[in-house]
């Protein structure tokens, strides 16, 4: 694939530092993104009830920073192994899970974290469960890419 022939892709795969550096940024972004969304999802599900939902809104800029860090490093890592990843069902499952998780994050941010409600609506609780499952699916699928994708 053309992406694999780019100078950046070749550097990522060929240098001693390229892949580890971008994988480290990918992991840091994942920690921010998913770690903070897990905290929000758990609070929506009723954990730590004394903490107002509206206070969790302050974490969203860090969530989006984690997403940007993850997206940029993920694109570079994809470029390095574009052919393998493009044909990988695990990669496709990962991307689908990320999209679902992000849509739910935007919904919860816009509809649930803005309100000062004592109780969360049933839909929000259902979406928090789906969010947790979706981020778990994205992480598992991401790890499985290395083991279930055949080199082309």
> Are 131 and 103 in contact, with CB atoms under 8 Å apart?
no
Q: What mean pLDDT is predicted for residues 113-124?
A: 81
The set of residues, in sequence order, having a beta carbon less than 8 Å from that of 68 and lying 6+ positions away, is 29
User: Please, what is the end-to-end C-alpha distance for the chain in angstroms?
Assistant: 11
At 152 the pLDDT is 56
Domain with 34, as residue range(s), is 2-148
If pLDDT is split at 50, 70 and 90, which confidence band does 16 have? Answer: very high
At 151 the pLDDT is 60
pLDDT greater than 90 at residue 30: yes
Question: Nearest to residue 60, comparing CAs of 19, 24, 22, 32?
Answer: 32
Q: How far apart are CA 76 and CA 82, in angstroms?
A: 9
Q: How far apart are CA 88 and CA 86, in angstroms?
A: 6
User: How many domains would you assign to the chain?
Assistant: 1
How far from the centroid of its chain's Cα atoms is residue 137's Cα? 10
Dihedral sign for Cα atoms in the order 118, 121, 124, 128: positive
Q: What is the pLDDT of residues 69-98, one digit of tens each?
A: 999 999 999 999 998 898 999 999 999 999
């Amino acid at each position: 694939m053309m992406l694999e022939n780019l100078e950046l892709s070749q550097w990522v795969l060929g240098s001693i530092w390229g892949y580890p550096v971008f994988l480290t940024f990918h992991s840091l972004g994942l920690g921010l993104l998913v770690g903070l969304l897990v905290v929000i999802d758990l609070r929506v599900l009723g954990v730590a009830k004394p903490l107002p939902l509206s206070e969790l809104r302050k974490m969203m800029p860090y969530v989006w920073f984690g997403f940007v860090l993850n997206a940029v490093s993920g694109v570079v890592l994809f470029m390095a192994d574009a052919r393998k990843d493009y044909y990988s069902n695990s990669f496709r499952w990962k991307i689908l899970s990320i999209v679902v998780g992000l849509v739910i994050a935007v919904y919860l941010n816009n509809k649930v974290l803005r309100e000062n409600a004592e109780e969360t609506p049933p839909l929000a609780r259902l979406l928090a469960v789906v969010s947790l499952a979706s981020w778990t699916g994205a992480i598992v699928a991401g790890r499985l890419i290395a083991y279930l994708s055949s080199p082309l």
